[in-house]
Amino acid sequence: MLKIEQHVSLQHHNTLALPSFAENFCRVSTESDLSEALSWSRQHRLPITLLGGGSNVVLARDLSGLVVQMAIPGIELVSEEQDQRVVRVGAGENWHQLVLNTIEQGWFGLENLSLIPGLTGAAPIQNIGAYGVELSQHFLSLEAIHLATGEQRVMNASECQFGYRDSIFKQSGRDQYAITAITFVLSSKMDLCLDYPALQKALDGIDESELTAKRVSDAVCGIRRSKLPSPEDIPNVGSFFKNPVVSKEQAETLRQQHPQLVGYHQVDGREKLAAGWLVEQAGWKGFNQQGVGVHQQQSLVLVNSGGTGVALLSLASDIQASVADKFGVSLEIEPRVYS
Ligand code: FAD
Ligand code: EPU
């Protein structure tokens, strides 16, 4: 039987370690637990908030209603045809452990996404990406339960409307579905994506014949550990803002004023600017105030050293205002904010 607890602290359930309480809390390990939780919330007319590993949420208030932590396990090889490996994974599987598991099986595709915190079920929400690869490139479909009706849905990639740190689940489908499983298409044939400059540099000097998914994963982990603070040491949610995508003309104008501007050309002709550079240039690197601050090495990472969600959002808003003022560029918050 599903255990629903009252007034549960969420401080250990969010990687910013923000103080927040769930009015009611449960952990669901099966689809039947999930339907029981949905019936309970409907019966009590209470809203539902879904939580995975809490590595992309800003809890600036207590969560009323029922907080459901998704813990449905399972990694299953669905089919193998020629080089293609189709793998179905439960929403509650730890993302990095899944990546390591696929590497051990000899399946290529997810290695560049090593060491991203959180659970598999949350990965489609912002179409996680790193080091030249996005989830959408290896995604076949997902299974979800529509929260209001309890109806089961299977959605393919185009229905998920994936974009850069974006999907239908951040837009029209926000808070409407519980993702229960994801099906990936991987490859048993060596198929590495080594375009990202920092990754190329880390693998420089290694003979091509010695390259493996494990080697790429280790290199990605090495870069990440050198750049990003671990939430266990310094509570954070990774990048706090998306990298803003601006027109070619705006990027050119900015570059005339700021020749060091860091940006990446997009296939549509626009340019994605490094928000970390903009925040650093606006003078925020290492700034601290009211128990919250900007990381010393990576200005895109906001950190909590004993503050509140409200203080963190106030800092974020000051940063947005100063970047808009200095560069005329607006920064969009990346994690999901509950305020
Ligand atoms: P949570 O934070 O628990 O939830 C995030 C959102 O998804 C919430 O709105 C929640 O309601 C919803 N949600 C969660 N599970 C489900 C579900 N099963 N069904 C429906 N909705 C759900 N992200 C990247 O893309 N690339 C990176 O390189 C990266 N690096 C990071 C580094 C650090 C140090 C940290 C702390 C975070 C980083 N992130 C990165 C962000 C984060 O790890 C990802 O967004 C991750 O997918 C969040 O997973 P989670 O389980 O913690 O989600
Ligand atoms: N930079 C600065 N100052 C800073 C931080 C960065 O000048 O304080 C410059 C760097 O020198 C570099 C550029 O900005 O030239 C980009 O920095 P980095 O390589 O660290 O990557 P990022 O753009 O900050 C993005 C993702 C990360 C992802 C990495 C690798 C976003 C919002 N962030 O970071 O994702 O891991 O690339 O692909 O797209 C996350 O989403 O939480 C996340 C960590």
Is 239 catalytic? The answer is: yes
Ligand 2 centroid–CA 115 distance in Å is 15
Q: Give the ligand at the shortest distance from the Cα of 121.
A: 1
pLDDT of residue 99: 98
Which residues share a beta bridge with 163? 166
- β-bridge partners, 302: 294
Question: Under DSSP, is residue 156 helix (H, G, I), strand (E, B) or coil?
Answer: strand
Q: Please tell me the predicted confidence (pLDDT) of residue 209.
A: 87
* Number of structural domains the chain divides into: 3
- The torsion angle over the Cα atoms of residues 72, 38, 183 and 80, rounded to 10 degrees, is 70
Quick one: pLDDT at residue 294?
A: 98
Cβ neighbors of 315 (< 8 A, separation 6 or more) are 287, 289, 290, 292, 293, 294, 302
- Distance separating alpha carbons of residues 108 and 90, to the nearest angstrom: 19
Q: Of 178, 200, 227, which closes a domain?
A: 227
Judge if pTM exceeds 0.85.
yes
Q: What angle do CA 8, 90, 50 make, to 5 degrees?
A: 30
| Cα separation values, 285 from 153, 297, 299, Å | 44, 7, 5
Position 196 scores a pLDDT of 95
- Do 94 and 181 belong together in one domain? yes
CATH assignment of the domain containing 164: 3.30.465.10
Rounded to whole angstroms, how far apart are CA atoms 310 and 211?
46
The parent domain of residue 23 ranges over 5-70
Does any ligand 2 atom lie closer than 6 A to the CB of residue 274? yes
Which residues in the chain come in under a pLDDT of 50? none
Helix (H, G, I), strand (E, B) or coil at 22: strand
Q: Is the CB of 239 under 6 A from ligand 2?
A: yes
What distance in angstroms lies between residue 294's CA and the mean position of ligand 2's atoms? 14
One domain for residues 200 and 249 = no
What is the C-alpha separation between 187 and 52, in angstroms, rounded? 27
Summarised one tens digit per residue, pLDDT across range 117-163 is 999 999 999 999 999 999 999 999 999 999 999 999 999 999 999 99
CATH number at residue 27: 3.30.43.10
Which ligand is closest in space to the CA of residue 283? Answer: 2
